[in-house]
Every structure is written in C-alpha cells, then in structure tokens.
C-alpha cells in the first residue's frame, strides 16, 4: 500500500522493539550443503508430473517441488522446517524480514505432517511445505501486530481465511513477516520493527507493504509467502526483490482480515519465486467463503502446470500509462519483455490508457478514508508513537465529507472506462510495476526530491490505479536488472493487467515471460 513520494522526516521515529522468537532456532551453518537425492521424485500433486533435480538446495526448491520430495519420502516435513528456520536465522540479522518466528509450533506441525504421511491417504498440494504470512494476517493464538505499537500485544483469536486455506493444503506456517505500520506504504519500515532491507542491496527498500514476505521468498527462507495488496503492496516488493507477486481480482482469495467486508481495494496475494508457485498458492486459497461477502463463488480451474503458449494472444503495451516518468532502464526492460512475448507469438500493440496523477489522487483519498475509518480512533492516545505518515493519511481521511467520498466513485468509473477501453479486444495490458529504482530502506534516510516541471507524473509505483479497478488481476514478474550505480543488480518488474477475474490469463503471460528470460527470472540474491 504505497506512499506516493519520498519525504524528509521532521519528527523522531520511535525506536523499534526487539524480536521475540517462539522456540529454539538453531544457529545458521557456515554454508548449508546441498541435499542430494538418489533419484528424481515425481510429484503426484494435482495429477501433474514434476522432475525434481537430484542435486538440490532445499532452500530454493519451489513449493511444488518441496511438496514432491515430501510426498516421495525423500525429505521429511521436519527437515524442510529446520532448513527454513536455519535460513531465517541467517537472513534475519541482515535483512529484518520476520516480525515473528514460531519455531516450536512449526516443528509440532511438521511432526503431525510426518505422521499423516505414515498413515497414507490423500495429501494436500502443500503438504509439509513451510510458508509465511504477513503480520497483518491472523494466525490463531499468535501475535497480530500490524507493524504498530498499538497492536504490540494483540493476539489473534482465529485463522484468517487465507491462513486456514494454506493449512488445509498441508502448509506449515513458520512465522509472520514484517509490514510498515498498518501496511500503509511502499517502504517496510515500522515503529515496531524498524526497516526491512532489500536482499540485492541492503541500503535500499525491498518495497512494501508486503516487503518482509518478498524478502523471505527471495532469500529462500520460504518458497511461498502471503501478502496483501491495497495499492500495490504485493506487486511493489515483488518487483524490487525479483520475485513473482499477484494481485488477484477482488474476492478471488476471500479477504476477512479487515473490520468491514465491503472494502473495494483490498486483496490477498502470493509472493513466490515462480509463476507456477503463485498459481499453486491461488489454487489452494481461492474461495468461496461466506466470511467475505465479495468472495468469488466460482473458482478457476488451476490444476496442472501453468500454460505458457501465447501464440495469437493480443496484449497492449504502455510504458508510461500515459503520463508517468519512467526510469530509462525500466522502460528498456519492459520493452524487451514485450518483444520476447512477441517473439513467442503474441501480438503486441502500443496503447495509451490516459492515466495520470489525478487518478492516483483518487486512490490516495480512498486510502486516507480507509485509514481514518479503521485506525482514526487511535490518534488521541497513540499519535506520538505512530508513523507520522500514518497520522497524515488518517487526517486526510478525516477531512473528507461523505459527499466527497461518494464522488470518488464517479472518478473510479472514469478510470474503469479507460482501462476497459485498452483491454477491449486484447487479453492483457503490459506496463512497468515500478517507475523508479528502490528508495532508501529506512524512512529516516529518505529526502524530498525536486522533480522537473516536465509535464510527467513523478512517483515510484505504477500499481495503485489498478486497485481502483479491483476485479482486474495484476501480476508482477521479473523482466530485467538495473545496472546504474545507485541500484546495480536490483531487479526490474513487468506488470501484467488482465480482464476481470482472469488470473489464468495473466499467469499464462507471466509464465511465458519466465521462459523467455531465464537469465532474469532464475537469479538469486547474494548471501
């Protein structure tokens, strides 16, 4: 849920608290040896066949392949959990991506998963696979902190739908990842935990608000992590960390973590290292669920591997959405990805959606009202211990009248007409996920930037406008790498926006990009 500018900070930030780990985490080994098996186990998940490499680093196996080696008896759930906990212990001091690690609970669930294997019978598609959820998502009996001192001692009384769905699929939740306070911005730096850092360059931000989840996936702590997206909070960190992030159409994954059920910009989505794993996450967590009145009642058929044939598909390409200033390396990478799809048989056409700063302002006002309605009652007691940007957003929402809020629906209608216009007769729209390289990791290190009066919209992300058309899925996949000194080695993301609830189409296009750009999509961060 991104902030839209870099700001200097005039008020001091509260000091973050120390992390509390639940259970014993073994010290990280100097370098974990690669696990070598005696053959290539074949996955029986969803009727597919997967050849799993015999020379494998368990940390970087896909979620589907982790499930395959568990089902084949090659690796136990306990071993996968121990590998995840060891990796977290190694990564956490450097990058600060976990708010909570539940080692004892994870080991207990791993033992239960092993016993289920011994009994035989059907297994879930994620049986024994360690995963993480964002600290804004409820896990029964565990801390529900929202990156805020206001929730430092809150304990969840139930599993959110997405948590319960992952568990039904056999996944083991090892911990909760970091978020900025109330998931409000694209920099994962909270009063409670401090700054989370980019795995490619720790001085830079990983993105937000699901920054901890993206870092955990990119570094091999887990193969899958849950995120939430109200303005780009899954796609932004996916782009800056070099992983896959999906905002499904609203209601595809039931959203029951908010106090109200009629919010119209909020989504759960996966962070994954591959499009196949993002698809698997979606398959396991899609609805319906009466806890979310907007949950989609007809699930997609997502069995089997992701199709990648794009021959004959028609896609629009807009590098600037009509008005954004876009960094030259990002523009070049997005054009190269579009050319790769064209070489694979897709028809690519330049389009102009005509989106601009006024549309982003519509999103920001909606976000301010959201923050005011849900967290405004905290200001009187907590304002001096909250992120000043959160306070500003709440105050923005407080200033809006009911009539002004209702008029935002007219503006959203106009955005929809423009987006649907460029999608008409096409399968998807291609554009950058981010317009700029990452900003500094810590908010205290950010400075105000004076932009030229060039008629362009200068901001970091290109995601929030697509939350205004909430039924449209949007996927971020790696498509390039920065080379200039300020962000050398940091990934670049391509955003693929589809028709209402056609996640299958954006995933197909994303898989084609992966296959066309293996030198980009197969990278691992240092360390």
Residue 354 CA neighbour count, 13 Å, CB half: 10
Q: Environment class of residue 288 by beta-carbon count within 10 Å: exposed (0-12), middle (13-18) or buried (19+)?
A: middle
Domain span at residue 490 reads 49-517
Query: Do the Cβ atoms of 510 and 221 come closer than 8 Å?
Result: no
Q: Which of 213, 233, 274, 318 is catalytic?
A: 233
Phi and psi angles of residue 331, each rounded to the nearest 5 degrees, phi first: -60, -45
At 372 the pLDDT is 98
Helix spans in 72-102 (H): 77-95
**Assign residue 34 a region: left if phi > 0, alpha if psi is -120 to 50, beta otherwise?**
beta
Residue 19 scores a pLDDT above 80: no
CA–CA distance, 64 with 16 (Å, rounded to integer)? 36
Strand partners of residue 204: 440
Note whether residue 410 is domain-resident: yes
Q: Which residue has the higher pLDDT, 332 or 37?
A: 332
How many Å apart are CA 377 and CA 8, to the nearest integer? Answer: 26
**E strand map for 235-305:** 244-247, 267-272
pLDDT tens digits, 235-244: 999 999 999 9
249 belongs to a structural domain: yes
Question: Do 255 and 387 meet the contact criterion of CB atoms below 8 Å apart?
Answer: no
**Considering the domain boundaries, does residue 4 fall inside one?**
no
Cβ contacts of residue 74 below 8 Å, gap of 6+? Answer: 37, 41, 52
Give the tokens for residue 78.
């306990």
* Residue in this structure with the two tokens 């064209």, named with its chain if needed: 342
Q: How buried is 78 (Cβ within 10 angstroms: 0-12 exposed, 13-18 middle, 19+ buried)? A: middle
DSSP sequence for 35-66:
EE-SS--B--GGG---B--SEE-GGGS-HHHH
Q: Where do we find the tokens 């009063």?
A: 191
9 located within any domain: no
274-289 pLDDT tens trace: 999 999 999 999 989 9
What span, in angstroms and rounded, lies between the C-alpha atoms of 61 and 49? 16
CB atoms within 10 A of CB 373: 17
Distance of CA 301 to the CA centre of its chain: 22
The structure's pTM equals 0.92
Distance CA 472, CA 339 (A): 24
Cα separation, 77 vs 116, whole angstroms = 11
Q: So what's the pLDDT on residue 446?
A: 85
- Quick one: three-class SS letters along 350-414? ECCCCCCHHHHHHHHHHHHHHHHHHHHHHHHHHHHHCCHHHHHHHHHHHHCCHHHHHHHHHHHHH
Residues 6+ apart with CB under 8 A from 232: 1, 2, 186, 247, 433, 461, 463, 464, 467
Predicted confidence band of residue 56 (pLDDT cuts 50, 70, 90):
confident
- Of 514, 412, 385, the residue nearest 470 (C-alpha): 412
Q: Would the pLDDT of 16 be above 80?
A: no
Is residue 134 annotated as part of the catalytic site, yes or no?
yes
Closest CA to 88 of 102, 70, 68, 105: 102
Is a pLDDT exceeding 80 seen at residue 220?
yes
Structure tokens at 74: 């090659």
Active site residue 209: yes
* Cα angle 33-36-37, degrees, rounded to a multiple of 5: 155
pLDDT digits (tens, 9 = 90+) for 439-494: 999 998 887 777 888 999 999 999 999 999 999 999 999 999 999 999 999 999 99
Q: Is 292 left (phi over 0), alpha (psi -120 to 50) or beta?
A: beta
- Total domains in the chain come to 1
- Is the pLDDT at 347 greater than 50? The verdict is yes
Partnered with residue 245 across adjacent β-strands are: 271, 476
Q: Is the pLDDT of residue 9 over 90?
A: no
**14 in any annotated domain:** no
In the prediction, which pLDDT does 74 show?
96
CA gap 211, 208 in Å, rounded: 4
Catalytic residue among 134, 148, 247, 476: 134
Question: How is the beta sheet containing 347-350 ordered, strand by strand?
Answer: 21-22, 98-102, 172-177, 130-134, 224-229, 267-272, 244-247, 474-481, 491-498, 428-432, 314-317, 347-350
CA 191 – CA 32 distance, rounded (Å): 34
Look over the chain and give the mean of its residue pLDDT values, rounded to a whole number.
Answer: 92
Burial class of residue 8 in the structure, from the number of CB atoms within 10 Å of its CB (0-12 exposed, 13-18 middle, 19+ buried): exposed
pLDDT band with cut points at 50, 70 and 90 for residue 33? very low
Strands 244-247 and 189-190: unpaired
Residue 233 lies in a domain: yes
Q: What's the CA gap between 257 and 164, in Å, rounded?
A: 12
Distance between CA 217 and CA 239 in Å, rounded? 13
Could you tell me if residue 16 is inside a domain? no
Check residue 7 and give its pLDDT.
34
pLDDT at 3 over 50: no
Query: Is the confidence at residue 503, as pLDDT, over 70?
Result: yes
Q: Tell me what pLDDT residue 15 has.
A: 60
- Residue 398 burial by Cβ neighbours in a 10 Å radius (0-12, 13-18, 19+): middle
43, 179, 209, 295: the catalytic one is 209
193 inside domain: yes
**What CATH code is carried by the domain that includes residue 240?**
3.90.1300.10
């Amino acid at each position: 849920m991104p902030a839209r500018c870099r700001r200097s900070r005039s008020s001091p930030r509260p000091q973050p608290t120390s992390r509390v780990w639940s259970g014993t985490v073994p010290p990280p080994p100097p370098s974990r040896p690669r696990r070598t098996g005696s053959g290539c186990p074949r996955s029986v998940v969803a009727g597919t066949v997967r050849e799993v490499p015999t020379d494998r680093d368990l940390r970087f196996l896909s979620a589907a392949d982790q499930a395959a080696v568990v089902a084949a008896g090659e690796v136990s759930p306990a071993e996968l959990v121990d590998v995840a906990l060891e990796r977290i212990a190694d990564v956490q001091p450097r990058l600060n991506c976990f708010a909570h690690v539940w080692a004892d609970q994870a080991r207990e669930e791993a033992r239960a998963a092993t016993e289920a294997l011994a009994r035989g019978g059907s297994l879930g598609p994620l049986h024994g696979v360690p995963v993480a959820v964002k600290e804004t998502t409820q896990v029964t009996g565990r801390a529900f902190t929202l990156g805020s001192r206001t929730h430092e001692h809150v304990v969840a009384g139930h599993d959110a739908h997405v948590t319960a769905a992952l568990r039904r699929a056999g996944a083991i939740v090892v911990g909760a990842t970091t978020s900025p306070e109330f998931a409000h911005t694209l920099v994962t730096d909270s009063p409670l935990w401090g700054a989370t850092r980019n795995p490619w360059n720790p001085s830079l931000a990983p993105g937000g608000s699901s920054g901890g989840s993206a870092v955990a996936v990119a570094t091999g702590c887990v193969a899958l992590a849950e995120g939430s997206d109200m303005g780009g909070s899954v796609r932004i960190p996916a782009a800056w960390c070099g992983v896959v992030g999906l905002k499904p159409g609203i209601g595809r994954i039931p959203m029951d973590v908010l106090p109200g059920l009629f919010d119209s910009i909020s989504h759960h989505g996966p962070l994954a290292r591959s499009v196949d794993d993002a698809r698997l996450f979606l398959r396991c967590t899609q609805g319906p669920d009466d806890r979310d009145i907007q949950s989609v009642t007809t699930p997609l058929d997502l069995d089997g591997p992701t199709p990648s044939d794009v021959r004959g598909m028609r896609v629009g390409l807009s590098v600037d959405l009509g008005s954004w200033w876009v960094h030259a390396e990002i523009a070049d990478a997005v054009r190269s990805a579009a050319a790769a799809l064209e070489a694979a048989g897709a028809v690519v056409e330049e389009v102009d959606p005509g989106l601009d700063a006024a549309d982003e302002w519509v999103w920001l006002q909606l976000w301010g009202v959201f923050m005011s309605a849900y967290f405004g009652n905290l200001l009187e007691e907590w304002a001096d211990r909250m992120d000043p940007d959160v306070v500003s957003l709440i105050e923005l929402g407080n200033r809006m009248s009911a009539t002004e809020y209702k008029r935002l629906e007219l503006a959203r209608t106009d955005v929809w007409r423009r987006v649907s216009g460029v999608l008409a007769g096409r399968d998807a729209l291609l554009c950058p996920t981010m317009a700029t390289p990452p900003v500094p990791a810590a908010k205290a290190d950010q400075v105000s930037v004076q932009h030229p009066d060039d008629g362009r919209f200068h901001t970091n992300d290109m995601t929030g406008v697509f939350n205004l058309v909430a039924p449209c899925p949007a996927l971020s996949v790696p498509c390039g790498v920065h080379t200039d000194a300020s962000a050398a080695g940091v990934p670049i993301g391509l955003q693929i926006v589809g028709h209402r609830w056609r996640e299958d189409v954006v995933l197909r296009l994303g898989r084609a990009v992966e296959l066309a750009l293996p030198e980009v999509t197969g990278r691992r961060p240092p360390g």
